[in-house]
Amino acid sequence: MSMVEMIRDSAGAVAPRGGDLSRIRALRFTRPGFDRAVWRQMAEMGWVGLRVAEDQGGTGLGMAEYCALAEELGRGLAPEPLVPGVFSAALLAACGDAPGLEALLSGEALPLTAWQERADTLEAPGTPGAPRVFVPMAAGATGFLLPVREDGGLALQAAEATPEIVETQDGGHYGTIAAQGTRIGTLPAKALDQALDEAALATAAMLLGVMERSFGMTLDYLRTRQQFGKPIGSFQALQHRAVDLQIQVTLSRASVEAAAATLDAGAAPAARRAAVSRAKVRAAEASLLVTRAAVQLHGAIGYTDEYDVGLYLRKAMVLANQFGSAALHRRRFMANAVDADE
């Protein structure tokens, strides 16, 4: 069994394939919006430190394994903020001896990185004292990490703050914080850029899991729902629609897996950015197309909040813009694709 297959199997402890979504429903629109015991379980399984080197307490696995895990968590709609947690772990590890990494990897703490100062960006200005926006699941943070510009470089600060919370469509939330922190380390050049790229690609992988599961639910419905004495999936028009959706899922998987392979091969920055942006554009747009079609193909029942397929559309609507929208990543791909080919 390959490591990717082992990672997928281990995800079943938190997000079993085809499992009951009652846990997810119970956590919607609550605070902190996820289960802290499940978060600790994720940490104990080594997921938070998946991208951290073994000599720093992590598991030192690649992006192929990380994307496989993110895909399974997307499939199960897990609300625990694994991608933001892995992002914070990457920055603490990059600082070398910065305090807090051990507590994060063990699940005892959850410092979330507040890097974004405006909507729809993949750049971190690092303005000291500036409000930081769109921090996912901020109510569950035990503290915050702030990248701050310092002498032409970046420092990492630790801060305590009470976030201002805005709820999101999927039952989670974003937080805005404004705080001054305490310096805990220096971020090496390009460490933040690479961590943001990895978070964007992991988000694309989550979107892949979201759309694939919603499509699977739709196929099951088309096979069982009867009309005029036969399954509606036997109607040619619906078969053609299903094929179109399958193509979207397949192309998204190819883009995500190709981008993971590019990063694992140690590609140059321009090639890395182009691969990540291509995958994020594909996953963001395809997930919205597939999940909306899934709701529609279920008929009236698909539009009710009590029916699970709608939860996948809500999750796609939130994840599609995390770590950059499709529009942003399309511009970014065009800016980097030429350099990547040279």
Is 342 a residue whose pLDDT tops 60? no
Whether 339 has a pLDDT exceeding 90, the answer reads no
Reported confidence tier of residue 319, pLDDT bands at 50, 70, 90: very high
Q: Does the pLDDT at position 1 exceed 80?
A: no
Mean pLDDT of 24-37: 98
pLDDT at 227: 83
Per-residue pLDDT at 238 exceeds 70? yes
The DSSP letter of residue 302 is G
**Number of domains making up the chain:** 2
Is residue 11 located within the same domain as residue 125? yes
Q: Which of 169, 189, 209 is a domain's end point?
A: 189
For residue 269 the two structure tokens come to 């920055």
Span 278-307, pLDDT tens digits: 999 999 999 999 999 999 999 999 999 999
**pLDDT value for 74:** 98
Mean pLDDT of all residues in 100-109: 97
Q: List, for residues 149-173, the tens digit of each pLDDT value.
A: 998 899 999 999 999 999 999 999 9
pLDDT digits (tens, 9 = 90+) for 125-151: 999 999 999 999 999 999 999 999 998
pTM of the model: 0.97
Percent share of the chain, pLDDT over 90: 90
219, 161 contact by CB (below 8 A): no
- The 10 Å CB-count burial string (b at 16+, else e) for 64-103 is bbbbbbbbbbbbbbbbbbbbbbbbbbbbbbbbeebebbeb
> Residue 81 carries which side chain, given as an amino acid letter?
P
Please give the share of the chain, as a percent, with pLDDT higher than 70.
99
Q: Which of 62, 59, 60 is nearest to 46 (CA)?
A: 59
Same domain, 68 and 198: no
Q: Are residues 88 and 210 in the same domain?
A: no
Same domain, 172 and 80: yes
Last residue of a domain, one of 165, 189, 213: 189
* CATH number of the structural domain spanning residue 227: 1.20.140.10
Q: What are phi and psi of 184, to 5 degrees?
A: -125, -5
- Of 130, 164, 189, which residue is a domain's last? 189
Same domain, 321 and 197: yes
CATH number at residue 47: 1.10.540.10
Q: Kindly give the pairing relationship between strand 111-113 and strand 143-150.
A: parallel
- The pLDDT tens digits for 54-88 are 999 999 999 999 999 999 999 999 999 999 999 99
What's the pLDDT score for residue 340?
A: 53
Q: Which domain holds residue 35?
A: 3-189
Based on the fold, state whether residues 152 and 35 are members of the same structural domain.
yes
Predicted confidence band of residue 199 (pLDDT cuts 50, 70, 90): very high
